[in-house]
Amino acid sequence: MAKVVCLGEIMLRLSAEAGTRLNQTQQLEVFYGGGEANVAVSLANYGHAVQFVSKVSDNGFGQAAERHLRSYGVATDHLLKAVGRLGAYYVEQGTGQRATSVIYDRQASVFALMDELEWPLAELFAGADIFHISGITPALSEQWQNLTLELIKAAKKAGCKVSFDCNYRQNLWSQKAAGAFLNKILPLVDYCSAGKMDAIYLLGVPEVEADATYYYQKLQELFPTIQAFYSTNRIVHSTCINELQGTLWINGKCYTSKNHVIDPIIDRIGGGDAFTGGILHGLLKEKTPNEIIEFATAAAVLKHSVKGDCNQFSEKEVLKFIKSDNAKIER
């Protein structure tokens, strides 16, 4: 059991039922999630001691976000509460060829408005094995770019590995701003979720006809201290039917998982976070690269079969899913 620190924003998610549009619905289903929070839940499910560090509203929704995290065994010792709003997002579930659409309503949240690090950093990272953060956090404000860098430096100083998920969101910042920031922090990062698109559009790797291996080589050349790159390749047949395959670059070699057909998809939000959670778990447990990439991809696939942002499966369940050869009833 490792000790992990995840820091980021956790939001209220409100979803309309499939087949009903947001402008028609009389009911919204309530979930809580966010990139780093979802990774935290995955790692807690796998038995690690995880702290989720954030700031939430001091009202029913902030309390519910905390209850959500605690229910999975994620520790919330450093979850601050303050007067203000919790960021929110709304999901209109697509179907067939109609895409799912997401409305963000996260501006002016208590987390986004932070302008200094209110947590005791030394205490936070003492004894921690991994600090995980994503590219959404620095995208929230210029100040959060500074704070993110400060956090990563503190983590490194404490001897903690840094895991970073690029997670580029075009409606939050420009490619140029994101690229500049990435160039600042990636030299400090140990494990990095990034793919071909990130390489080309954010980090300036020239586009060529080549597979993931090529781009990982180029990224490795740019950031030689990063120890692992990973990403998924998703083929979208329709909103309900996708194929998913995971790739892991480690020690100069590229490992690819089995390709999974997911039909139907219940809820794909958080699939990438489940994948990251699986990778970090594999690295922490020092599994083989093949084991790591199969585990992480299977975890991501399982996530698609449940409602809500976060992976709800234990290590035992993920391994059982990998071994099972079909979908027979268990009884």
Among 262, 292, 296, 299, contact with its own copies (rule: CB under 8 A) = 262
Give 112 or 189: the residue with its C-beta nearer to its own copies.
112
Can you tell me the distance from the alpha carbon of 78 to that of 89, in angstroms, rounded to the nearest whole number? 23
Among 99, 126, 180, 210, contact with its own copies (rule: CB under 8 A) = 99
C-alpha angle with apex 300: 299 to 306, nearest 5 degrees? 90
Give the torsion through C-alpha atoms of 100, 106, 165, 278, to 10 deg: -60
Q: CA-CA distances (angstroms) from residue 131 to 178, 212, 230? A: 20, 26, 17
Q: With CB under 8 A as the rule, give the number of residues binding its own copies.
A: 77
Whether the CB-CB separation of 239 and 100 falls below 8 Å is answered with yes
Q: Is 102 in the site for its own copies (CB under 8 A)?
A: yes
Among 36, 304, 309, 311, contact with its own copies (rule: CB under 8 A) = 304
DSSP, res 266: S
Among 13, 48, 55, 268, contact with its own copies (rule: CB under 8 A) = 268
Among 146, 213, 233, 312, contact with its own copies (rule: CB under 8 A) = 312
Among 95, 141, 143, 217, contact with its own copies (rule: CB under 8 A) = 95
Q: Is 10 in the site for its own copies (CB under 8 A)?
A: no
**Residues 169-228 within binding reach of its own copies (CB under 8 A):** 169, 171
Q: Is 25 in the site for its own copies (CB under 8 A)?
A: yes
Q: Is 141 in the site for its own copies (CB under 8 A)?
A: no
Sequence letter at residue 94: G
DSSP annotation string for 124-186: HHTT-SEEEEETTTGGG-HHHHHHHHHHHHHHHHTT-EEEEE----TTTS-HHHHHHHHHHHG
Give 218 or 303: the residue with its C-beta nearer to its own copies.
303
Q: Is 71 in the site for its own copies (CB under 8 A)?
A: yes
Can you tell me the distance from the alpha carbon of 272 to that of 249, in angstroms, rounded to the nearest whole number? 16
Nearest to residue 298, comparing CAs of 287, 285, 313, 284? 313
Q: CA-CA distances (angstroms) from residue 67 to 211, 254, 273, 314? A: 43, 39, 20, 19
Q: CA-CA distances (angstroms) from residue 216 to 29, 259, 275? A: 39, 20, 18
Among 157, 176, 253, 307, contact with its own copies (rule: CB under 8 A) = 307
For residue 123, the tally of other CB atoms under 10 A from its CB is 11
Q: Is 114 in the site for its own copies (CB under 8 A)?
A: no
Give 48 or 260: the residue with its C-beta nearer to its own copies.
260
Q: Is 329 in the site for its own copies (CB under 8 A)?
A: yes
Q: Is 318 in the site for its own copies (CB under 8 A)?
A: no
Among 116, 224, 286, 328, contact with its own copies (rule: CB under 8 A) = 328
Q: Is 27 in the site for its own copies (CB under 8 A)?
A: yes
Give 254 or 265: the residue with its C-beta nearer to its own copies.
265
Q: Is 83 in the site for its own copies (CB under 8 A)?
A: no
Q: Is 291 in the site for its own copies (CB under 8 A)?
A: no
Among 70, 81, 156, 287, contact with its own copies (rule: CB under 8 A) = 70
